[in-house]
């Protein structure tokens, strides 16, 4: 990528739920944002998987992906990601094969190794008896790759004989599978399997350069991906002024500080509520450290920082998590701050 080339832009959505907002309103806001991203030329729109969090409505990526696919026409839609220890591989394969049938050539299946929740919720998710677990993660990824392919998978019985399994009965294409992670493990596994890889830079504090180095250095070419394929994620707030961007970033910064301090989580604060709240000695250094890593500023400032980030790490795509919070006067079924972030970034990229 040359210094003058702007990276392609994508979106990661956790479906944030603000104070006073219902689940239908939060989902409506995110689906409208997906439509806007499609119109603005963004490359992908991924939904995360998190559970039992008052400020996060993205619990079931396949459902949200189906809804977003139905309301868009061009953008790739997918998961960022499905947390595989929570699900049986066949169920994941069937869900995403069905999504591929709904929107052929537009589905991404991002897979993560972490459970994405606390131990109690993890146990509840596994009560159905799924055999999916962290130790068998590599085998389950291979199973999904086979099951979603048009050829399907063949089971061999120890007593002899075989049994054919297909995620959908007559597939002609398959979702693109990505491995996600915030440590060396997934980077090395993706390299060994010849799969695309994404480091969760939007919440991991350290390890990006090492993970990318391991992935690229150990990469084994596959038929689908002769070269390593990766991009970066980043928390981004863009606004018409730098002061407005700072204000819009504060509620999410405070929420992340509470999470890292193991304090009770609540619905996302509005800008006004966050500005009126006191910062204690424990939260302040965490917020300042995160503020240094996040990209917060005007559209031109944010776009410039994204270009610099892409050039530094040799990628041609960045997936932004638009974490601009809402003001109290804004509609509950909209996402004005997040929408403005995407609009400003797209405008700045087009002008570059």
The answer, yes or no, to whether residue 288 has pLDDT greater than 50, is yes
The pLDDT score that the predictor gives to residue 3 is: 45
Could you tell me where the DSSP H helices lie in the chain?
23-40, 61-70, 89-102, 119-125, 137-148, 184-193, 208-218, 242-260, 271-276, 283-293, 299-313, 336-351
Convert the pLDDT of each residue in 93-129 to its tens digit: 999 999 999 999 999 999 998 766 677 777 777 665 5
The pLDDT score that the predictor gives to residue 183 is: 86
The pLDDT score that the predictor gives to residue 122 is: 74
Start-to-end CA distance of the chain, whole Å, equals: 14
DSSP string for residues in 109-157: EEEESS-SS-HHHHHHHTTT-----GGGHHHHHHHHHHHHSTT-EEEE-
DSSP string for residues in 9-34: EEEEE--B-BTT--HHHHHHHHHHHH
Convert the pLDDT of each residue in 160-201 to its tens digit: 788 899 999 999 999 999 999 988 999 999 999 999 999 999
> Hey, is 171 helix, strand or coil?
coil
Closest CA relative to residue 330, chosen from 12, 57, 20: 20
Q: How far is CA 83 from CA 125, 134, 263, in A?
A: 11, 10, 23
The answer, yes or no, to whether residue 4 has pLDDT greater than 60, is no
Please give the share of the chain, as a percent, with pLDDT higher than 90: 80
Strand pairing partners for 155?
Answer: 163
Lowest pLDDT segment from 55-59, 152-156, 214-218, 272-276: 152-156
Query: Residue 2's pLDDT band (boundaries 50, 70, 90)?
Result: very low
The answer, yes or no, to whether residue 23 has pLDDT greater than 80, is yes
Q: Kindly list the structural domains of the chain, giving each domain's residue range(s) and its CATH number in brackets, ordered by start.
A: 8-248+295-351 (3.20.20.30)
C-beta separation of 194 from 227 below 8 A: no
C-beta separation of 345 from 306 below 8 A: yes
Q: What average pLDDT does this structure show over 337-352?
A: 95
Between residues 326 and 81, which one has the greater pLDDT? 326
Residue positions counted in the chain: 352
C-beta separation of 45 from 72 below 8 A: yes
C-beta separation of 47 from 16 below 8 A: no
The answer, yes or no, to whether residue 92 has pLDDT greater than 80, is yes
The pLDDT score that the predictor gives to residue 6 is: 86
Query: Residue 131's pLDDT band (boundaries 50, 70, 90)?
Result: very low
Q: How far apart are CA 53 and CA 57, in angstroms?
A: 8
Strand pairing partners for 319?
Answer: 10, 233
Q: How far apart are CA 161 and CA 171, in angstroms?
A: 24
The answer, yes or no, to whether residue 136 has pLDDT greater than 90, is no
The pLDDT score that the predictor gives to residue 268 is: 97
Tell me what the pLDDT averaged over the chain comes to. Answer: 93
């Amino acid at each position: 990528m040359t210094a003058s080339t702007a990276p392609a832009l994508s979106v990661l959505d956790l479906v944030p739920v603000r104070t006073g907002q219902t689940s239908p309103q939060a989902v409506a806001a995110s689906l409208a944002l997906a439509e806007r991203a499609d119109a603005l030329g963004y490359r992908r729109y991924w939904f995360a998987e998190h559970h039992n969090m008052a400020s996060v409505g993205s619990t079931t990526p396949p459902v949200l992906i189906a809804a977003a696919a139905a309301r868009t026409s061009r953008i790739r839609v997918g998961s960022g990601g499905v947390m595989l220890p929570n699900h049986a591989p066949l169920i994941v394969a069937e869900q995403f094969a069905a999504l591929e049938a709904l929107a052929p050539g537009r589905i991404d299946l991002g897979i993560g190794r972490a459970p994405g929740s606390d131990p109690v919720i993890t146990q509840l998710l596994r009560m159905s008896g799924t055999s999916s677990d962290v130790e068998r993660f590599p085998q389950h990824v291979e199973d999904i790759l086979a099951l979603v392919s048009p050829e399907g998978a063949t089971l061999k019985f120890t007593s002899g004989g075989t049994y054919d399994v297909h995620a959908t009965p007559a597939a002609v294409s398959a979702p693109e599978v990505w491995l996600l992670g915030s440590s060396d493990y997934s980077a090395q596994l993706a390299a060994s399997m010849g799969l695309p890889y994404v480091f969760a830079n939007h919440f991991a504090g350290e390890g990006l350069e090492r993970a990318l180095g391991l992935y690229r250095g150990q990469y084994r070419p596959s038929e689908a991906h002769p070269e390593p394929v990766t991009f970066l994620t980043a928390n981004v707030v863009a606004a018409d002024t730098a002061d407005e961007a700072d204000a819009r970033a504060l509620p999410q910064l405070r929420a992340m500080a509470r999470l890292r301090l193991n304090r009770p989580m609540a619905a996302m604060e509005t800008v006004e509520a966050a500005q009126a709240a006191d910062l204690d000695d424990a939260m302040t250094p965490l917020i300042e450290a995160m503020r240094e890593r996040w990209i917060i500023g005007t559209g031109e400032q944010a776009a410039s920082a994204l270009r610099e980030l892409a050039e530094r790490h040799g990628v041609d795509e960045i997936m932004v998590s638009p974490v601009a919070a809402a003001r109290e006067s804004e509609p509950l079924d909209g996402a004005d701050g997040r929408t403005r972030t995407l609009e400003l970034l797209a405008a700045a990229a087009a002008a570059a």
